[in-house]
A and B are shown apart, each in its own frame.
Chain A
């Protein structure tokens, strides 16, 4: 498998709103901590080491 970079989320605006809303009442520190948990949860769900490496590389390169 390779990292899917094509649109894959059915309801993008709704997802984005949910993500932002979920942190609305958190201070910066709490939000950053939540992000760390979220990354780990998603990374485990993906599992595939090759895909994770690609995603890390892609994020690191700035997009």
Chain B
């Protein structure tokens, strides 16, 4: 039924399997979904060669992720692939919520202008993966190995040993570090014996992709209890190529096998779109959702990311969006450890920061699910009361929860942060991802985030130093002076960073704020950079001396 033609990436026997010589690789990624592919690109961007294993040889089958948020787009931009995604996808920022046959509330995700990337794009997961695969293939540091299924993993003190099955049989390879991105049913998770616990929701959803030429605006439309699907919720999203995604809530008693049949699905869609709208079914599946996370993102030499580490319900589009941010957090840390610039302890901060983010995502998506699927009659009364009141009264609108769309979780309590000392005003506290702003470089317009992301970066407002780099132990941190290296023609950069002359920020390689002060002090900068690289106090004192 689908009009999309799945690419076949093709299996090739590797040299190491052919020669039968066990080779130790610095990084092996298991799983070439959106997170594994992003992991490969980010590790390569940080100078590390990567081997990716995937048991299949094509992209994600069927309809899964649709919405990608601004922060993942910023990360993919750092990896050189956001522009084609935005071009191929559809951008949106307005969401409408209907109750029965009335609009009850409307939201705008990015009311602030002057950001390079849209609040959200919609793009089929298979298109997105195809773009990531093309980008990986063009990178000499990345080797994609299709039809390579990991069948067992054994940990040693300084590496993991992997048994891999291919069409040519089973062979062994070794990895100093494994990034497990093998999805919600992760085999690797079972191989290391990690716990994966949480909550299953007693509800079923019908996911239908339809091809149609419709003049609905490019907005997210969510219905509670609409006349065409009484008692349940419905979500409509536009994707690329005139494909629309419709999610019908079915309830727990629905029979998944029956509900998937076109003779059941087509009347549901017809009731929604009207008799006159012509459409063709592209894809139908039934899902049941869970919110779960792994006990520890680091299990010895194995680092978990994406759905292998956490699963959320899709309301809020948090699955792939948060998985990409796992990688953003992990890749620079792993590269530093591999280069001997930081100790393995830095990798424990990966768990600390991303487990915190996963818990935040799970909390948000559990709350949305509770609103969408009230579990008792009284809770349904409260839910309906919110929706009724929201139509007329502003106070009830913030209570409407049809999914809080993915935004980055700040790491405000991370041990890598230097706590705010003297008060720099504004929201860019240590542990927050850098806000973008329009800037100019040599008179040409650019974006602030383009200055960040390559190692540690110091940004100071005003002529506080004539250096262009600050050396801290093994690191060379670029020093960017606003007014010398970049211009802030609109003043928005200073405004978003609460900056006055002398204000200084330290950014981590993942564009997060590590420290900020109202003045420029090299000793403080040194201390903050070392702390952000996970060096302990003794190290820091020695290197700072």
Question: Does A pair with B?
Answer: yes
Give the interface segment out of A4-12, A32-40, A50-58.
Answer: A32-40
Interface flag for A3 (CB, 8 Å): no
Q: Are A40 and B396 in contact (CB under 8 A)?
A: yes
CA of A35 to CA of B378 in the docked complex: distance in angstroms? Answer: 10
Q: Are B382 and A36 in contact (CB under 8 A)?
A: yes
Q: Are A40 and B384 in contact (CB under 8 A)?
A: no
Given A32-B378, A32-B381, A37 contacting B388 (CB threshold 8 A): yes
Q: How many residues of A contact B (CB 8 A)?
A: 9
- CB-CB < 8 A to B395: which residues of A? 44
Interface flag for A26 (CB, 8 Å): no
Produce 1/0 per residue, B430-463, CB < 8 A to A.
0000000000000000000000000000000000
CB-CB nearest in chain B for A37: B385
CA of A32 to CA of B385 in the docked complex: distance in angstroms? Answer: 10
- CB-CB < 8 A to B378: which residues of A? 32, 36
Q: Are B381 and A40 in contact (CB under 8 A)?
A: no
Closest approach, in angstroms, between the C-beta of B534 and any C-beta of chain A? 36
CB-CB nearest in chain A for B390: A40
CB contacts under 8 Å to A, within B360-401, are 378, 381-382, 384-386, 388-389, 395-396, 399
Q: How many residues of B contact A (CB 8 A)?
A: 11
Q: Are A36 and B384 in contact (CB under 8 A)?
A: yes
- CB-CB < 8 A to B396: which residues of A? 40, 44
Q: Are A36 and B399 in contact (CB under 8 A)?
A: no
CA of A44 to CA of B382 in the docked complex: distance in angstroms? Answer: 14
- CB-CB < 8 A to A37: which residues of B? 385, 388-389
Closest approach, in angstroms, between the C-beta of B22 and any C-beta of chain A? 59
Q: Are B386 and A33 in contact (CB under 8 A)?
A: no
CB-CB nearest in chain B for A35: B381
Identify B389's interface contact among A32, A35, A40, CB under 8 A: A40
CA of A44 to CA of B399 in the docked complex: distance in angstroms? Answer: 10
CB-CB nearest in chain A for B394: A44
CA of A7 to CA of B206 in the docked complex: distance in angstroms? Answer: 52
CA of A39 to CA of B381 in the docked complex: distance in angstroms? Answer: 11
CB-CB nearest in chain A for B398: A44
Closest approach, in angstroms, between the C-beta of A23 and any C-beta of chain B? 14
Residue pairs across A and B with Cβ atoms less than 8 A apart, 25 shown, are A32-B378, A32-B381, A33-B381, A33-B384, A33-B385, A35-B381, A36-B378, A36-B381, A36-B382, A36-B384, A36-B385, A37-B385, A37-B388, A37-B389, A39-B382, A39-B385, A40-B382, A40-B385, A40-B386, A40-B389, A40-B396, A40-B399, A41-B389, A44-B395, A44-B396
- Give 9 nearest A-B pairs by CB, closest first: A36-B385, A36-B381, A37-B385, A44-B395, A36-B382, A33-B381, A40-B385, A32-B381, A37-B389
